[in-house]
Each structure stands twice: as C-alpha cells, then as structure tokens.
Amino acid sequence: MKENRSVDSIPREVALQLCAEICEKNRRKLFTQCWGCWKASKGDPAKMCVSSRPDYRGCGLVNKRYAQKLLG
C-alpha cells in the first residue's frame, strides 16, 4: 500500500508551485477557496490546504491542476 501512496502523492515543490499559480490566477477575487486558505494560513505553506495531508493532496484545486498536467 505504501507504493500506491507514493505514486498518488504530489511532490511538495510541485504542489506548492501549483498552489502559487492558482492563487495568482484568483488573486483579485474575494471569498474564493484560495482567499480563505491564504487568510486562514496567513501565507504559511505548512498551514495551507495543500499541506493538510502528507501526500500534498489536501487541496482539490491543486489536485485538479496536477491531474491536468499529467494528462497533458
């Protein structure tokens, strides 16, 4: 089962980069998922949704963007 977990996980650097890209896209929109995450975490990546799970799959937006990048 550990093998599946490592295959399904997103590398930390990739997850944080995707998070930053998504946040930049949604930067001017209030009350989005990114806005709430940023406000609650005060910008600390360790407290953001993406870091809420050890496999860096705590944010649905990052998961979706990662899957799109994998599929091309």
- 72 residues of the chain, pLDDT tens digit each: 343 444 589 999 999 999 999 999 988 888 889 999 999 999 899 999 999 999 999 999 999 999 998 887
Q: Please tell me the pTM assigned to this model.
A: 0.82
CB 8 within 8 A of CB 15: no
CB 50 within 8 A of CB 11: no
pLDDT at 68: 93
Q: Which two tokens stand for residue 45?
A: 């990546």
CB 47 within 8 A of CB 40: yes
